[in-house]
Amino acid sequence: MATLFDINLFALFGQLLVGLINGSFYALLSLGLAIIFGLLKIINFAQGAMYMLGAFIALLALKYMGINYWFALILVPLTVGLIGILMERFLIRPIANEDHLYSLLLTFGLALIIQGVFTHAFGSSGLSYAVPDALKGGTKLPFMYLPNYRAWIIIVSVLVCAGTWWMIEKTKLGAYLRAGTENPQLMQAFGINVPLIVTLTFGFGVALAGFAGVMAAPIYSVSPDMGSNILITVFAIVVIGGMGSIGGAIITGLGMGVVEGLTKYFYPEASNTVIFLVMVIVLLLKPAGLFGKEA
């Protein structure tokens, strides 16, 4: 490991920070998936399409209705969440009692259709969404130039993740949710409307993807395949974190961002496979994931 001492420490700090920024993005995306996948046991392959939808709705809202970034941050997740609610109610619920593979196939098909429609309508080259004026520019740190928007991503992601974690793990509503998915019959006997909780939870998980889409629009090319590119990585993160563990998804998201960032520095060719390598190792050593409970 002698090479470690040859590395410019400043460069390393830069890479760590950039990794952390990407990690907070992963945390945001995997959080939504962890809620749907972990709590509702629905394998939602349309989560990437919802992320793409979030970015596109923000872009179209700006272009045709003059809705700026700040309003989009609130409006887009609501819209995408509503789409999710309709999806759960009319498409996923009818097959809720079937094998998990059915929901996988259904949502995968949906994702392909949505992506295909957007490619047809907007082409594959992507569109660009400007960084909001208030977040333009950046700060000169000793070891790197930190764009303000990236700093904003870390702050917002951490707040949203922490808020969601708190809501699910510490509030009464969260307790209902966890109990409702653990033992639906019993909860229903107590007079809790479990199907409604499931629908709302699915909507919330999907809304998080839409939110991440708005966050991503100013820094990445808004294109129909942006969601499918990132989805598998995010699934891997949820698996590493442990199914059903909200905190696990957040911490793993951040951690994998850093791992990927360092890989991009030391051996960039492997940067899109390193997370899967970690997944394999984790599954071999701890099949339930880092923070998952053994069944």
Partner 1 sequence: MKKTNTSVLSTVVSGAIAATMICSAQAATDGQVKLGILADMGGTYADICGSGCVIAAEMAIEDFGGSVLGKPIEMVSADSQLKPDVASAIARKWVEDEGVDTIGGLVSSAVSGAVSKVNADSKNITLISGSASNSFTTKACNPYNVHWTYNVVALANGTVKPMVQAGKKKWFFITADYSFGHALEGMASKVINENGGEVLGNVRAPLGTTDFSSYILQAQASGADVVALANAGNDTVNALKAAAEFGLTEQMDVAGLLVFTPNAQAMDPATAGGMRLTSGFYWDMDDETRKWSKRFEQRHGAIPSMIHAGVYSVTTHYLNAVKTAGTDDSDIVMKTMKETKPSDFFARNATLRPDGRMIHDMLYVEIKKKEERKDKNDIYKIIKVIPGNEAYSPMLPQCNFS
Q: By the criterion CB under 8 A, which residues form the site for partner 1?
A: 8, 11, 14-15, 18-19, 21-22, 116, 119, 123-128, 130-131, 138, 144-145, 147, 149-150, 219-221, 223, 225-226, 229-230, 261, 264-265, 268-269, 271-272
- Gap between the Cα atoms of 246 and 97, Å rounded: 24
Decide if 85 contacts 200 (C-beta within 8 A): yes
Judged by beta carbon, residue 127 or residue 290, the one nearer partner 1 is 127
What's the closest the beta carbon of residue 150 comes to partner 1, in angstroms?
Answer: 7
- Gap between the Cα atoms of 238 and 47, Å rounded: 13
What's the closest the beta carbon of residue 262 comes to partner 1, in angstroms?
Answer: 9
Helix (H) or strand (E) run with residue 146 in it: strand 145-147
Judged by beta carbon, residue 145 or residue 190, the one nearer partner 1 is 145
Judged by beta carbon, residue 150 or residue 251, the one nearer partner 1 is 150
Judged by beta carbon, residue 104 or residue 219, the one nearer partner 1 is 219
Judged by beta carbon, residue 14 or residue 241, the one nearer partner 1 is 14
Crossing angle between the packed helical segments 69-87 and 47-65, to the nearest 10 degrees: 130
What's the closest the beta carbon of residue 207 comes to partner 1, in angstroms?
Answer: 21
What's the closest the beta carbon of residue 92 comes to partner 1, in angstroms?
Answer: 25
Distance of CA 38 to the CA centre of its chain: 13
Decide if 194 contacts 184 (C-beta within 8 A): yes
| Cα Rg of the chain, angstroms | 19
Decide if 88 contacts 251 (C-beta within 8 A): no
What's the closest the beta carbon of residue 126 comes to partner 1, in angstroms?
Answer: 5
